[in-house]
Structure 1
Amino acid sequence: MARESVARAGERRRYGQYCGLAACLDVIGERWTLLIVRELLVGPQRYNELLHNLPGIGTNLLAERLRWLTRQGVIRQHPRSNGKGHRYELTGFGEALREPILGLARWGLNVSHPFDAEDEVRPQWGVLAVEALIKKDQIPEVDESYEFLVDDQLFHIAVKDRQITVAQQGAEHAALRVSTDAKTFVDIGSGRVSPFEAVVTKRLSLEGDQQALTRCSRLLGLLPGDGLADG
Structure 2
Amino acid sequence: MKQQRRNYGQYCGLAGALDVVGERWTLLIVRELLTGPCRYNELQANLPGIGTNLLAERLRFLVDTGLVRQRAKDGSKVKMYELTTQGEGLREPVLALARWGLGLLGAPTSEDVVRPRWGALAVEAMIDPSLAGPDERYEFRIDDEVFHIDVTDGKVSVRHGKSALDPALVVTTDARTFVEIGSGRLSPLEATLTHRLTMDGDPEATLRCSRLLGLVG
User: Hey, what's the Cα distance between the residues in 2 that align with 1:37 and 1:116?
Assistant: 25
User: Hey, what's the Cα distance between the residues in 2 that align with 1:23 and 1:144?
Assistant: 41
2:33 is matched by which residue type in structure 1? L
2:46 is matched by which residue type in structure 1? N
User: Hey, what's the Cα distance between the residues in 1 that align with 2:199 and 2:59?
Assistant: 40
**Unpaired runs of at least 5, structure 2:** none
Q: Give the match's secondary structure for 2:15.
A: helix
1:149 is matched by which residue type in structure 2? R
From 158, 163, 166, the equivalent of 1:166 is: 158
TM-score, normalised to structure 2, is 0.97
Matches within 5 A, 1:65-84: 65-84=58-77
User: Hey, what's the Cα distance between the residues in 1 that align with 2:24 and 2:12?
Assistant: 20
User: Hey, what's the Cα distance between the residues in 1 that align with 2:175 and 2:42?
Assistant: 18
User: Hey, what's the Cα distance between the residues in 2 that align with 1:77 and 1:10?
Assistant: 21
Q: Give the match's secondary structure for 2:186.
A: coil
1:148 is matched by which residue type in structure 2? F
Which structure's CA Rg is the greater one?
1
Q: Work out whether residues 129 and 155 of structure 2, in 8 Å CA contact, stay in contact via their aligned partners in 1.
A: no
Deviation at 1:152, TM superposition (A): 0.7
Q: Work out whether residues 128 and 213 of structure 2, in 8 Å CA contact, stay in contact via their aligned partners in 1.
A: yes
1:197 matched to which residue of 2?
Answer: 190
Q: Work out whether residues 172 and 199 of structure 2, in 8 Å CA contact, stay in contact via their aligned partners in 1.
A: yes
RMSD: 0.9
1:13 matched to which residue of 2?
Answer: 6
1:216 matched to which residue of 2?
Answer: 209
Deviation at 1:113, TM superposition (A): 2.1
1:22 matched to which residue of 2?
Answer: 15
User: Hey, what's the Cα distance between the residues in 2 that align with 1:124 and 1:24?
Assistant: 25
User: Hey, what's the Cα distance between the residues in 2 that align with 1:85 and 1:152?
Assistant: 23
List, as ranges, runs of 4+ consecutive aligned residues in structure 1 with deviation greater than 3 Å.
Answer: none
Matches within 5 A, 1:28-47: 28-47=21-40
Residues 1:103 and 2:99 are matched in the alignment: no
Residues 1:93 and 2:86 are matched in the alignment: yes
User: Hey, what's the Cα distance between the residues in 1 that align with 2:73 and 2:148?
Assistant: 25
2:181 matched to which residue of 1?
Answer: 188
Deviation at 1:139, TM superposition (A): 1.0
From 109, 112, 115, the equivalent of 1:119 is: 112
Deviation at 1:85, TM superposition (A): 2.3
From 152, 157, 160, the equivalent of 2:149 is: 157
Give the percent of matched residue pairs that are identical in Structure 1 and Structure 2: 60
User: Hey, what's the Cα distance between the residues in 1 that align with 2:3 and 2:65?
Assistant: 15
Deviates more, 1:80-89 or 1:158-167: 80-89
**Unpaired runs of at least 5, structure 1:** 1-8, 227-231
Deviation at 1:82, TM superposition (A): 4.1
User: Hey, what's the Cα distance between the residues in 2 that align with 1:90 and 1:10?
Assistant: 22
1:14 is matched by which residue type in structure 2? N
